[in-house]
Amino acid sequence: MTRHFRSWIMAAASVAAMASASPVLAQDVTEITVQRFFGACDADFGTNTDVSKAVGECGIITSLINKFNADNPGIKATVTTVEWPGYDQLTAQFAAGDPPDIVTVHESALSDYQSKGLLLPLDELLATVGISPDSFTDAGRGGVTKEDKIYALPIDSWTMLYHINLGLFKQAGLLNADGTPILPKNVDELLAQAEQFKQKTGKPYFIQNLANENALFTRNLYTYLFQQDSDFFADPMQVKLKTPEAKKVFELYKTIFDKDYTTKNMDYAAAIQAFLAGEGGVQLNGTWVVGDYNASAEKAGTALNSGGYAVYPYPQLFGGKKAQYADGHTWAVSNKDDRTPEQLAAIGKFLKFFADNDFEWSRTGHLPAFKAVLASDAFKALPHRDTIAPIAELGTPLPSAVQRQFAIQDIIGEEMGAAVTGQKEIDAALADAESRINELLANL
Amino acid sequence: MAEALVSSQASLSSPALTAQRAPRANINASQWRNALFIAPYLFFFVTMLVFPLIWGIWLSFHKADTFGVGKFVGLANYARLFGDKIFLQSVGNTFYFVLLTAPALALLGLFLALALNRQTRSAAFLRAAFFSSSVLSVTIVTLIWRIVFIPDFGLLATIYGWFGAPAPAFLSSPDLSMIAIAIATIWWCVGLPMMLFLSALQQIPGEIYEAAALDNANRWQTFRSITLPSIKRTFILVLLIQVVMQFQLFGQARLMTQGGPNNTSKPIVMYIYDVAFKRWDLGMGAAASEVLFVLILIAAMAQFVLTRRRGEN
């Protein structure tokens, strides 16, 4: 009886101790919620805190957040990973009044949320942790500045690139004496080189993910419209696509498709597999795969290792300004009424951590968003940065006042895809794209 | 003992007690408190179905985005909707998909049920096997079929490769994309029709088949004159359930083709999703939802009318 009574007393005391200790523990750890895209790779990097050992977007961002949590025991950043780009989910979260504290947002999508008052202006918060917007690159600062306020922390600038299989280029006779690839300087040269490549290698010049793809078509169109000085978004509420410039771009890509200078019917994953397997000369893909492709090229026995891998900005095919479409990734902070000062301070620390580690992020292949990193020897020493550095100057976004850029991207991609694959006349596709986008923008 | 019983009966039938007995309650009488029995269901029915339905109709007459309702615009959202070629295309796509899947599911379900309506272990195993796909989530189903259809590296490409032929581009051809989604859907959904037909077949009395056998009826005659008339109502039920279900196609199209190429596999629900959540045009999304609601309502009413008429006959 005495022993039972003692057990009860001990159990009750334990429960009481736990109950009284829990609030203390809870007070000690400030929890913030982080939502991001860039994929999930917990199997490889779920516990890694040595960022230098991580490769690729997913590996590096996972390791960075792990390191942030390890370095800040008083803060717990809980991560939700969403499928790219995650805006449908984010919009629903905002509508439900339950957004994450910190979220990855493209510079091109910031206006949608900022214009609704859903994002926190960060000028004061960044100042408290010692981040000056003057330290941002021009592209980064322009991308996150709305109505003279900073609405996100830029972490990179990205664009599309020519990822080149040098072994196949050599076989096609498209290498200079110094081993660099011969790239076209105009549309005729591009088509001639693509024909030469096809004849000599039996493979298509381009590897493109054209199967139910929207983003690639749209980014290609923007790039070559910029190169023709086409001011297609002179009015951010109205697009002009029924133009000779747009028609030239559609015709170019249709010719590439019709003459089998490109892979067909591949989705994004298949296109990456095909490039890594040496199925074509040039893959049109973004800055984010430079790290992974370079790693493959350094591995003995791979298709890229046999002849080498190089990466360049899109060639200048038209006579206008030297430009190509670019965007950037940012960390944005949601506007929340019930956020505590401790949580706000934790968010500031998180942003500071990413600003301080922008070099690590730039190892993905993206251009850094901080001038100091861009100018650093460490960044310049990274593989291929000498050839892709010009995109810091070439990168051109859409005007930031253009809203619903992801919805517009889908419309252009659908129409351009239909025209290029021959399901629709080019003029009809351009007219439909223009009217559909303008109808969307007229009803914001 | 007998005296006690007689005494008890006498006391029960005494006029004094009969007068005191409460009037017998009519359990069929309509009383408000009976509504309490259905109150829990009614609460959820009203809050989860009726209210959203009315809210959706109200939204469809307003300019609204995800973050607020703006001004009343009358039928403007409907006018925009019926002026949108993509919406009309998505309506056509949805009907095409229903045409591809609903009859196929009914016929295939019936065929499987006829083949597996026997008390053997192999039939039991095959019934479970054919039903097992129904328990998978749409994500797993589309992943499996993407592995089959994906160009160059997929199962189909590998099989065609053995014969030196290129595989059809199921996911990126405007003529094949909806067929690819239909194949995946039939594989996924065939379990339920099969089970419904099996239960209907097992309700047909065995004596009728015995009588037919005595009359030397062959298999086709038995099927046409006994089986088919006996399961006619189930057949109509299966067909209409499938019509209503397949009108709501979304996940497979979203995950396999993203509605492409050139919107040839975009169903109405995906159009609603794009308009409401990608373009934030909630008013127009609500208008499209009401159109879909009417289409499904017509199908459901057809089911009601047809099955009732059969019952009356």
CATH number of domain containing B296: 1.10.3720.10
d(CA A22, CA A18) in angstroms, rounded, equals 6
Which residues of chain B make contact with A266, given a CB cutoff of 8 A?
A: 151-152
In tens, the pLDDT along A144-175 reads 999 899 999 999 999 999 999 999 999 999 99
Identify the residue with better confidence: B8 or A270. Answer: A270
Question: Is residue A179 domain-shared with residue A251, that is, in the same domain?
Answer: yes
Most B CBs within 10 A among A89, A272, A443, hence the mutation to make, goes to A443
Domain count, chain B: 1
Q: What are phi and psi for residue B60, nearest 5 degrees?
A: -65, -15
Core vs surface per residue B74-102: b (16+ CB within 10 A) or e: eebbbebbeebebbebbbebbebbbebbb
Whether B67 maps to a domain, the answer reads: no
- Compute the average pLDDT of residues A107-132: 94
Decide: A259 and A206 in contact? Cβ < 8 Å.
no
Of the listed ranges A10-19, A80-89, B146-155, the one predicted with least confidence: A10-19
- Compute the average pLDDT of residues A266-288: 92
Whether B118 shows a pLDDT value over 90: the answer reads no
Under DSSP, is residue A121 helix (H, G, I), strand (E, B) or coil?
coil
Which residues of chain B make contact with A118, given a CB cutoff of 8 A?
A: 67
Q: Is the backbone peptide bond immediately before A85 cis, with ω within 30 degrees of 0?
A: yes
How deeply is A277 buried, as exposed, middle or buried, from its count of CB atoms within 10 A (0-12, 13-18, 19+)?
A: middle
Looking at residue B67, what is its pLDDT?
A: 85
Helix ranges (DSSP H) in A172-319: 187-201, 215-226, 244-258, 268-276, 290-297, 303-307
Question: Is residue A170 domain-shared with residue A306, that is, in the same domain?
Answer: yes
Whether A4 maps to a domain, the answer reads: no
Looking at residue B179, what is its pLDDT?
A: 96
CATH number of domain containing A296: 3.40.190.10
Whether A65 maps to a domain, the answer reads: yes
d(CA A370, CA A362) in angstroms, rounded, equals 10
Whether B32 maps to a domain, the answer reads: no
Looking at residue B6, what is its pLDDT?
A: 43
Whats the size of chain B, residue-wise?
313
In the listed set A310, A343, A365, which residue is the last one of a domain according to the structure? A365
Confidence of residue B23 (pLDDT cuts 50, 70, 90): low
| Domain boundaries, position A65 | 30-154+329-365
Q: Which of A158, A132, A159, A154 has its CA nearest to residue A144?
A: A154
| Domain boundaries, position B229 | 76-312
Looking at residue A22, what is its pLDDT?
A: 47
d(CA B273, CA B282) in angstroms, rounded, equals 9
In order, the DSSP letters of B247-294 are TT--HHHHHHTTT-STTTT--HHHHHHIIIIIS--HHHHHHHHHHHHH
Whether B280 maps to a domain, the answer reads: yes
Tokens 């499987």 identify what position? B112
Question: Is residue A414 domain-shared with residue A309, that is, in the same domain?
Answer: yes
Tokens representing residue B40 in the block: 């829990």
Decide: A404 and A412 in contact? Cβ < 8 Å.
no
Helix ranges (DSSP H) in A96-243: 107-114, 123-128, 138-144, 166-171, 187-201, 215-226
In tens, the pLDDT along B162-212 reads 998 888 989 888 999 999 999 999 999 999 999 999 999 999 998 999 999
Question: Is residue A59 domain-shared with residue A200, that is, in the same domain?
Answer: no
Confidence of residue B310 (pLDDT cuts 50, 70, 90): low
Whether A147 maps to a domain, the answer reads: yes
Question: Is residue A199 domain-shared with residue A265, that is, in the same domain?
Answer: yes
In tens, the pLDDT along B37-69 reads 899 999 999 999 999 999 999 999 999 988 888
- Compute the average pLDDT of residues A64-71: 96
d(CA A60, CA B288) in angstroms, rounded, equals 42
In tens, the pLDDT along A315-340 reads 999 999 999 999 999 999 999 988 99
Whether A41 shows a pLDDT value over 90: the answer reads yes
Instruction: Work out whether strand A282-286 and strand A206-207 pair parallel, antiparallel, or are unpaired.
Output: parallel
Looking at residue A270, what is its pLDDT?
A: 87
- Compute the average pLDDT of residues B280-296: 93
Q: C-alpha angle with apex B103: B134 to B204, nearest 5 degrees?
A: 80
Confidence of residue A16 (pLDDT cuts 50, 70, 90): low
User: What distances in angstroms separate CA A140 from CA A395, B159, B264, one per listed residue?
Assistant: 11, 49, 38
- Compute the average pLDDT of residues A329-358: 95
Tokens representing residue B102 in the block: 């609903």
pTM of the model: 0.85
Whether A434 maps to a domain, the answer reads: yes
Question: Is residue A148 domain-shared with residue A182, that is, in the same domain?
Answer: no
Whether B11 shows a pLDDT value over 50: the answer reads no
Confidence of residue B299 (pLDDT cuts 50, 70, 90): confident
Question: Is residue A333 domain-shared with residue A321, that is, in the same domain?
Answer: no
- Compute the average pLDDT of residues B92-112: 95
Which chain B residue shows the shortest CA-CA distance from A117?
B67
DSSP state letter for B311 = H
Of B63, B86, B261, the CB nearest to A212: B261
Question: Is residue A348 domain-shared with residue A320, that is, in the same domain?
Answer: no
Domain count, chain A: 2
Whether A3 maps to a domain, the answer reads: no
Whether B38 maps to a domain, the answer reads: no
Whether B2 shows a pLDDT value over 50: the answer reads no
Question: Is residue A58 domain-shared with residue A117, that is, in the same domain?
Answer: yes
Q: What percent of chain A has pLDDT over 70?
A: 94
Whether B311 shows a pLDDT value over 80: the answer reads no
Count CB atoms within 10 A of the CB of residue B14: 11
Whether A322 maps to a domain, the answer reads: yes
Identify the residue with better confidence: A383 or A212. Answer: A383
In tens, the pLDDT along B227-283 reads 999 999 899 889 988 998 999 999 999 999 999 898 999 999 999 999 999 999 999
d(CA B67, CA B127) in angstroms, rounded, equals 48
Instruction: Work out whether strand A309-313 and strand A145-146 pair parallel, antiparallel, or are unpaired.
Output: unpaired
Whether A388 maps to a domain, the answer reads: no
- Compute the average pLDDT of residues A362-379: 92
Question: Is residue A60 domain-shared with residue A72, that is, in the same domain?
Answer: yes
In order, the DSSP letters of A401-439 are T---HHHHHHHHHHHHHHHHTTSS-HHHHHHHHHHHHHH
Q: Per CB distance under 8 Å, which residues of A are interface residues toward B?
A: 87-88, 91-92, 94-95, 112, 116, 118, 210-212, 214, 264-267, 270, 273-274, 279, 404, 406-407, 410, 414, 417-418, 421, 423-424, 432, 436, 439-440, 443-444
Whether B213 maps to a domain, the answer reads: yes
Question: Is residue A320 domain-shared with residue A428, that is, in the same domain?
Answer: yes
d(CA B291, CA B91) in angstroms, rounded, equals 9
Decide: B140 and B134 in contact? Cβ < 8 Å.
no
- β-strand partners of A206: A262, A282
> B275 to chain A nearest CA, in Å?
9
Contact A410 B85 (CB under 8 A): no
Whether A89 maps to a domain, the answer reads: yes
Question: Is residue A133 domain-shared with residue A229, that is, in the same domain?
Answer: no
d(CA A294, CA B284) in angstroms, rounded, equals 47
Which residues of chain B make contact with A417, given a CB cutoff of 8 A?
A: 260-262
Q: Which of A83, A232, A245, A220 has its CA nearest to residue A159?
A: A220
Which chain A residue shows the shortest CA-CA distance from B260?
A212
d(CA A261, CA A411) in angstroms, rounded, equals 25
Looking at residue B3, what is its pLDDT?
A: 45
Confidence of residue B4 (pLDDT cuts 50, 70, 90): very low
Q: Which amino acid would we find at residue A150?
A: I
